[in-house]
């Protein structure tokens, strides 16, 4: 009898696992033109710590349902934390947008004075499948010489389609717009 109970328990356990939905993992990526032509002199850029709102600082996708409600989708997840993905995407974007850019994320050599230092504070990172992807970022560029340039970029990208793939594409475009504003500031500081 005991063997029968153990066997039934094992079968029920395996049946429960077989019925669970499969998780899908998403990553952010740079969009836009190929890297710009190499400049006569390299432009060292360091992306320092990036802050992300606690609400979305988790593996699961957090989607906006209405103005005061969100849902956490347990089966649609980020492959790595947003606080790692966002600076990596901005770094890739800056490599494409600033001629001669040599971008490092979380640099170890903080005392190198010939570097453009970029700080990013993501204040909002919103996901509304089938509607829009939104981001609001305070950023600053500290050039090797001169004054710090600060800005705020707010982007609401429409989502072309109803799935999470389209939502992630919209987030990629929104981060690309933030990167373009940062790139313009770096290029203006060079002159």
The per-residue pLDDT for range 115-149, each reduced to its tens digit, is 999 999 999 999 999 999 999 999 999 999 889 99
Write out the two tokens for 75: 């089966």
Q: Are the C-beta atoms of residues 73 and 63 closer than 8 Å to each other?
A: yes
CA distance 134 to 83: 16
- Residue 186 is encoded by which pair of tokens? 């770096």
Average pLDDT over residues 81-103: 96
* pLDDT tier at 11, thresholds 50, 70, 90: low
Residue 114 has a pLDDT of 77
Considering the domain 32-190, what is its CATH architecture? 3-Layer(aba) Sandwich (3.40)
Where do the domains of the chain lie?
32-190
Distance in angstroms (rounded) separating the CA atoms of residues 146 and 143: 6
Band of residue 7 on the pLDDT scale cut at 50, 70, 90 = low
- Nearby residues of 8 by Cβ (< 8 Å), 6 or more positions away: none
The per-residue pLDDT for 49 is: 81
pTM of the predicted model over 0.75: yes
Q: How confident is the model at residue 110 (pLDDT cuts 50, 70, 90)?
A: low
Question: Which among 41, 44, 39, 42 is positioned nearest to 143, based on CA atoms?
Answer: 44
The pLDDT value given to residue 41: 86
pLDDT of residue 33: 73
The burial of 21, by beta-carbon neighbours within 10 Å (0-12 exposed, 13-18 middle, 19 or more buried), is given as exposed
| Strands, E assignment, 22-131 | 24-26, 43-51, 60-66, 69-78, 101-105, 116-128
pLDDT value, residue 38: 63
Q: What is the pLDDT of residues 18-43, one digit of tens each?
A: 567 899 999 999 987 776 566 668 99
Better-scored residue on pLDDT, 84 or 5: 84
Return the pLDDT at 162: 83
């Amino acid at each position: 009898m005991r063997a029968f109970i153990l066997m039934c328990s094992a079968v029920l356990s395996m049946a429960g696992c077989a019925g669970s939905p499969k998780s899908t993992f998403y990553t952010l990526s740079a969009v836009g033109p190929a890297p710009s032509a190499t400049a006569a002199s390299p432009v060292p850029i360091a992306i320092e710590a990036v802050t992300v709102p606690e609400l979305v600082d988790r593996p699961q996708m957090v989607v906006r349902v209405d103005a005061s409600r969100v849902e956490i989708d347990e089966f649609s997840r980020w492959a790595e934390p947003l606080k790692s993905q966002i600076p990596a995407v901005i770094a890739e974007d800056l490599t494409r947008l600033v001629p001669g850019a040599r971008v490092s994320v979380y640099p170890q050599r903080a005392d190198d004075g010939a570097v453009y230092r970029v700080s990013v504070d993501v204040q909002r990172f919103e996901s509304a499948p089938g509607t829009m992807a939104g981001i609001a970022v305070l950023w600053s560029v500290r050039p090797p010489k001169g004054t710090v340039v600060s800005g705020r970029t707010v982007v609401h990208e429409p989502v072309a389609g109803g799935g999470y793939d389209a939502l992630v594409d919209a987030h990629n475009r929104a981060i690309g717009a933030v990167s373009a504003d940062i790139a313009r500031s770096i290029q203006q500081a060079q002159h």
